[in-house]
Structure 1
Amino acid sequence: MIKLLICDDDMLIRESLKIILGMDEEIEVVGTCENGSVASKFIVENKVDVALLDVRMPVMNGVEATKNIVNKSETKVIILTTFDEDDFIKDAIRYGAKGYILKNTPPDKIIDTIKMVHKGHSVIQDVVLEKLKNNMDDSCEKINKDNFTEREIEIIESIAEGLSNKEISSKLFISEGTVKNYISNILNKTGLSHRTQIAISYIKGNFK
């Protein structure tokens, strides 16, 4: 059973999501809250597998809450919003959000995202991914593939597949710590700031 926390400052939205998402037999809505500060406190005090956070909330927004939650718990964060501004997307991902989808997403897709993120995958909706791809710095567009070892290329390909560090570790028969070290090396070689940019660069065919 996936223990889910819903956080949105609009009571109608959060209560509607509680009813709709709670109907799935694999999801248990353990709480709802109206801002990121309350969500952060709730997660420290309770077992929560996945937190569904709105971006724009009073007191503490979803991006700030993501940073707190990821630093203080094992809870995986999905950003759910009507807004798709670049800064929100980049900051939320940089702080550790595992999913980013829009509020007009059909309930069945939201449920699928919750389940995928719970299993360790990262999920970014196509429209959001396209926005990120179209706004990457030109300096990130050309990356010499010859600068990377065969193992690093395997790591890059796995990231592009949406695999978590744990899944990459299992796939390549190396420790999670080693995976993290490889990713750090890849980021240093490419000048990119987070793994999502690695995936986007690879998908765009920028590793030549």
Structure 2
Amino acid sequence: MKIKVMIADDNSFIREGMKIILSTYDEIDVLATVEDGRQAVEYCSGHDVDIALLDVRMPNMNGVEAAKFISGQTGTKPLILTTFDDDEYIVAAIQNGAKGYLLKNTEPERIRDAIKSVYHGSIVMQDVVLDKIKSNLTERKDPEPKIDKSLFTERELGIMALIARGLSNKAIAKELFISEGTIANYISSILGKTGLEHRTQIAIYYLTGKSNLN
């Protein structure tokens, strides 16, 4: 069974070029290309689409807004494909239901693999994108949480704060003098309480208090 993909980009050269490239892969069927977020939402609402490949900066409705409507109102999974300069949209895209965030200079094979991963339920974030999130978060040495602390244990709150500072599980384990496995268990508990999907969303939730990321 082929993965049904829709491409939204206001640059006709990019969207048609991407269609040609993705159509060369046997596992992908590009159903349509559209030129803005509003058209993307309308198409996904009326058709059976597995993955919506969305640019961020588009007229009428940008990719972040489109991701919110698509993820909330259809069974389609939004995947952002944008330029390096659009990093200010990363957090907003994740908050609004995007299941991945890729840069346009990514090799076609990696875009194909990302589409397959998102289709099968994974979250796809390139290392360079995660690094930019971490660098932005670590600028706040002591981020002030905007969450209901009563929902979590003191240990969970401490781990969330360290995640918000961009620390890896290994670094958190070293900081708290407990094993990485224990850290993973705490993270699983946090994800269960919040309904979030991965640690990047935990950081965003801790800093913004927003948990409606799906």
* TM superposition shift of 1:83: 3.5
Share of identical aligned residues, percent?
Answer: 51
1:147 aligns with 2:155: yes
Give the counterpart letter for 1:139 in structure 2.
D
What's 2:78 paired with?
A: 77
* TM superposition shift of 1:158: 9.4
Gaps of 5+ in 2: 145-151, 157-180, 205-214
What's 1:43 paired with?
A: 44
What's 2:127 paired with?
A: 126
What's 1:170 paired with?
A: none
Aligned equivalents of 1:155, 1:98: Cα separation in 2: 23
Aligned equivalents of 2:38, 2:8: Cα separation in 1: 10
Alignment deviations for residues 31-88 of structure 1 (CA, whole Å, 9 cap, x no partner): 1100000000000000000010001111111111111111111211111111344430
Q: 1:196 aligns with which of 191, 197, 200?
A: 200
**Retained in 1: the 8 A contact 2:56–2:86?**
no
* TM superposition shift of 1:139: 3.1
Gaps of 5+ in 1: 160-164, 166-178, 188-193, 201-208
Matches for 1:1-208 after TM superposition, within 5 Å: 1-136=2-137, 137-140=140-143, 147-148=155-156, 153-154=184-185, 156=187, 179=192, 182-183=193-194, 195-198=199-202
Aligned equivalents of 1:21, 1:152: Cα separation in 2: 39
Aligned equivalents of 2:16, 2:73: Cα separation in 1: 26
Aligned equivalents of 1:24, 1:68: Cα separation in 2: 28
**Retained in 2: the 8 A contact 1:156–1:199?**
no
Shift in alpha-carbon separation, 1:100–1:14, aligned structure 2, 3 A: same
Give the counterpart letter for 2:105 in structure 1.
N
* TM superposition shift of 1:198: 3.0
**Retained in 1: the 8 A contact 2:94–2:201?**
no
Aligned equivalents of 1:138, 1:48: Cα separation in 2: 42
Q: Alignment RMSD, CA only?
A: 3.2
Give the counterpart letter for 1:198 in structure 2.
I
Aligned equivalents of 1:18, 1:158: Cα separation in 2: 41
Alignment deviations for residues 6-39 of structure 1 (CA, whole Å, 9 cap, x no partner): 0000111111111110111111101110000000
Secondary structure of the equivalent of 2:6?
Answer: strand
Aligned equivalents of 2:91, 2:133: Cα separation in 1: 8
Q: TM-score if structure 2 supplies the norm length?
A: 0.70
Aligned equivalents of 2:113, 2:129: Cα separation in 1: 17
Shift in alpha-carbon separation, 1:183–1:34, aligned structure 2, 3 A: same
Aligned equivalents of 1:109, 1:33: Cα separation in 2: 22
Aligned equivalents of 1:119, 1:158: Cα separation in 2: 23
Give the counterpart letter for 1:196 in structure 2.
T
Shift in alpha-carbon separation, 1:120–1:140, aligned structure 2, 3 A: farther
Secondary structure of the equivalent of 1:135?
Answer: helix
**Retained in 1: the 8 A contact 2:4–2:49?**
yes
